[in-house]
A = this chain, B = another copy of it.
Amino acid sequence: MTSLADGTGHPALRGLPAVWLRANCPCAGCQDPGSGQRLVAVTDLPADVTVAGVQASDGAVEVIFGPDGHRAVFAAGWLARYGDRGPDGQDDDRTEDAKCLWAAADLGGGIPQGWWPRYLADPEHRSACLSAVLTHGVVVLHEVPCEPGAVLAVARSLGYVRETNYGRLFDVRAEPAAANLAFTRLPIAPHTDNPYRDPVPTVQLLHCLHAAADGGGDSTFTDGFRAAAVLRRQDPAAFTCLTVTPVTFAYADAAAVLRATGPMIGLDPRGRIRQIRLNGRSLAPVRLPTAQARAFYAAYRAFAGLAAGPDAMVTARLAPGDCVIFDNTRILHGRTAFADGRGGGASTGRRHLQGCYADLDGLASAVAVLARDQAGRAGQADQASQAGQAGS
């Protein structure tokens, strides 16, 4: 055995210090074999933990810790994954770094698409459709039955419905005395939904039951991460302004009074774009000193302009049976105005969508479970067990 106080001198330890190794000891006393959860609180580890010895052989690395003589046996490949030179790629893939940013031209004329009957029958197709939401932010599924409530079955297939004050699902159609602009015939600029909520619904679904009879009412989609990245390149000060200025979005009706505060462009601690909040309709009056208010509005206008630009925005006409699924932390959606037959019933072609909300963590889990199942079928059963890192 080699003795070395912090472990980092031994090549098999890959630069991982003693405290890291001890905190990640896989023995049954430190990690529950059933659940994969850590059994030992960080406060119960020896404060002065050292590596007293290392023995590497046959793909296993045994570590003896001081001062208490505790022993851990790691798989060498596992240490390599986490050591200094190991690859990245175990984070949650929610920032711009993990996304495929797109301009309208990059999509080749339309958003990624799939077909509901095949989605149900074929796990690979289902995985491809849901993966498109993770990479491109949006997918449209064709041939979803034109039945009220079908959108809930789509949501259920990828996670869990997020119920809100709008209900488990909501109808989007022109109404006589609308409490929300969504329920009028007016055009709607690219926006994220419900920024007055925290947590915001991270996935939105919209299912077309009836298209507008006389043109208009098309849906628009913009990659908000790309629009923010373009702003960062073209006008770094404007980008920074929108990342450091918390603004409040607000909504109130007879049954709800909602408000949430956050920056229009949310970054992770490493400065990567992670969450867009853009919705002119529900932005509460900003509360800033005069010069900052001017700078904020200039930046906001620039960002909204990029989001609505023809090179950024894809227009898609949803046909009856189409259900679009998108990442509401990234994709800005909107619609063109429509005229439509007034007072018409279903048969007149009156535009009618049904929507609901869900969340990205459930969707990403569905994709990961499908991938694990595929790997399992390919005989790589160890991947399933390695994924078992768990906790409440």
Which residues of A does B touch, CB under 8 Å? 6, 8, 15-17, 19-20, 23-24, 32, 34-43, 45, 47, 82, 84, 86, 88, 90-92, 94, 160-165, 177-182, 186, 189, 191, 193-194, 196-200, 202, 243-246, 248-253, 255-263, 268-270, 279-287, 289-290, 293-294, 297-298, 300-301, 304-305, 308, 359-362, 364-365, 368-369, 372, 387-392
Residue pair B261, A92 in contact (C-beta under 8 Å): yes
Residue pair B92, A180 in contact (C-beta under 8 Å): no
How far is B20's CA from A23's CA once the two chains are assembled, in angstroms? 53
Interface CB pairs A-B, < 8 A, 14: A23-B297, A39-B181, A43-B189, A43-B305, A88-B287, A91-B248, A92-B198, A165-B365, A199-B202, A246-B269, A250-B390, A258-B365, A258-B368, A279-B392
Residue pair A392, B91 in contact (C-beta under 8 Å): no
Contacts known (A43-B308, A257-B369, A301-B45); A283 close to B202, Cβ less than 8 A: no
Counting chain B CB atoms within 10 Å of each CB, the highest count among A15, A160, A194, A280 belongs to A280
How far is B91's CA from A196's CA once the two chains are assembled, in angstroms? 10
Provide the residues of chain B in CB contact with A390, threshold 8 Å.
179-180, 250-253, 281-282
How far is B257's CA from A362's CA once the two chains are assembled, in angstroms? 9
Among residues of B, the one whose C-beta sits closest to the C-beta of A196 is: B391
Q: How far is the CB of A162 from chain B (nearest CB, A)?
A: 7
Residue pair A252, B199 in contact (C-beta under 8 Å): no
Among residues of B, the one whose C-beta sits closest to the C-beta of A175 is: B34
Residue pair A286, B20 in contact (C-beta under 8 Å): yes
Provide the residues of chain B in CB contact with A177, threshold 8 Å.
34
Provide the residues of chain B in CB contact with A23, threshold 8 Å.
297
Contacts known (A34-B178, A179-B390, A246-B268); A365 close to B297, Cβ less than 8 A: no
Contacts known (A34-B179, A179-B34); A301 close to B257, Cβ less than 8 A: no
Chain A contact surface mostly: loop
How far is B182's CA from A34's CA once the two chains are assembled, in angstroms? 12
Residue pair B198, A360 in contact (C-beta under 8 Å): yes
Counting chain B CB atoms within 10 Å of each CB, the highest count among A20, A23, A257, A294 belongs to A257
Residue pair A245, B258 in contact (C-beta under 8 Å): no
Contacts known (A180-B37, A202-B199); A17 close to B249, Cβ less than 8 A: no
* Extra pairs beyond A180-B390, A245-B269 (7, CB < 8 Å): A16-B290, A39-B281, A90-B248, A165-B362, A199-B200, A251-B391, A260-B361
Residue pair B287, A252 in contact (C-beta under 8 Å): no
How far is B130's CA from A8's CA once the two chains are assembled, in angstroms? 51
The 7 lowest CB-CB distance pairs between A and B, nearest first, are A282-B391, A199-B199, A281-B391, A257-B368, A37-B281, A91-B261, A41-B189
Residue pair B41, A308 in contact (C-beta under 8 Å): yes
Residue pair A279, B181 in contact (C-beta under 8 Å): no
